[in-house]
Amino acid sequence: MSSTYTKKQVADLVKGDLDFETVHLMLSMPKDEDRYKFYMETINENLDYDHQAIGALGPHLNYVIRSDDEEIVVMCDCGHDFGQYRSNWKLNAVIYVRDNVEKMEQIYPAIMAPDTSWQVYREYYCPSCGIQHCVEAPTPWYPVMHDLQPDFATFYEWMGQPAPAKI
């Protein structure tokens, strides 16, 4: 059985103002047809640029169709362009690595911090506005992780909508 939610409820979800019970129902019930449309309308209404967001990668990080060339890129809410969506956006971020005891003790009590010979923290920040987009906790030698490679063609086919031109 599908449920129906209003655009206001979806906007409250995005802002973090929706009550827990409704959030739980939204996540656990089958998705209604208008949810994606309401979600993207809400995201686009809150952006300060003219490009069209078509998906969210994180709380302040979106897949966007650039208005000048219609390329799909990863973009911060502030407008910083991290590059083509098939590439790893993290390689264009400011990366702070917590790789020694002193850096780990900035966030953990001394005996609670991980051993940095086994684990480091990589923090990824927007070069333009400084917002933190992601944190990884890999072994020191592990390469930068590429979290997601969306299949927009299949997604738009599943949604029954025309896909963006440059996917």
Instruction: Per-residue pLDDT tens, the chain, 167 aa: give them.
Output: 445 888 999 999 989 999 999 999 988 988 887 888 899 999 999 998 999 999 999 999 999 999 999 999 999 999 999 999 999 999 999 999 999 999 999 999 988 999 999 999 999 999 999 999 999 999 999 999 999 899 999 999 988 888 888 88
What token pair was written down for 89? 């956006």
Give me the phi and psi of 88, to 5 degrees please.
-80, 105
pLDDT at 162: 87
Beta strands in the chain (DSSP E): 52-58, 61-65, 72-76, 81-84, 94-98, 121-125, 132-136
Rounded Cα distance between 146 and 135, Å, is 12
pLDDT at 144: 97
**164 secondary structure, DSSP code:** P
Rounded Cα distance between 167 and 164, Å, is 6
Name the helix (H) or strand (E) containing 54.
strand 52-58
pLDDT at 3: 57
Q: What is the pTM for the complete model shown?
A: 0.89
pLDDT at 57: 94
